[in-house]
Structure 1
Amino acid sequence: LIAWLAGDRDPNKANRGRIDAAYADMRRRNVAKSLKKRLGNNGRGTRVEVHPVNQGGVTPSRQRALDVRKVNIRPNQWDRLVDQWSAGDADGMNAEWEDIAEDTLGSEWGAYTSVAAIGFGA
């Protein structure tokens, strides 16, 4: 380690992989902690815009008029979503999002469950 830090030696391929994995794990935990604090918003949660599913492949006569919706996601919901993201649990994130959508979006919640991207302005 001292030789690596001094620039006298480079880590071998196996050690470089372990270093990269440890760094990614630490970064993910630090980002998760920061996201929970930011998105929890001192117990108030965060209001987000939810865009409906892309209907580009649907015959125009069968498309529905769907608006962008704004919902408030509570801190405990954010905590679960961020924990699942941090663990790489896409199925858990999908299940949590479906619960949130069903609770907050009413009868058309199914049109908002197909997530193409999530962007954080945190």
Structure 2
Amino acid sequence: MELSVGDAAPEFEATVTDGSSIRLSEMLNSDDGVILYFYPRDNTPGCTVQACDFRDSFGRFTNSGWRVIGVSTDSAQSHQKFIDKNSLPFELVVDEDSSLHEAYGTWREKSMYGKTYMG
């Protein structure tokens, strides 16, 4: 699936690092907006920079009424280590089966060094 600007965000219910569940419709019914950012893997150089950029801007986002949530296919244990190592103040969604990535069009075939893979 591929989303275009102006498309409605697909509804989802997902587990975050602490084992609790979040649902998009419930978050959108609050006074805050939602920023979902998708990334390939915890603790990789580019993904760490991205997460730390969100961390460093977290106060500006929350003061403006936005909730930041990261999404990757890593486990809750991996996410918790990533949060602890980088002092991340936001939740990370556990999407081990990539269903949320697929719903938002961020999981597709890629190619690097002549090898193709999903990611």
Tell me the TM-score normalised to structure 1 length: 0.23
Higher helix share: 1
Tell me: higher relative CO, structure 1 or 2? Use CA pairs within 8 A at least 6 residues apart. Answer: 2
Tell me the TM-score normalised to structure 2 length: 0.24
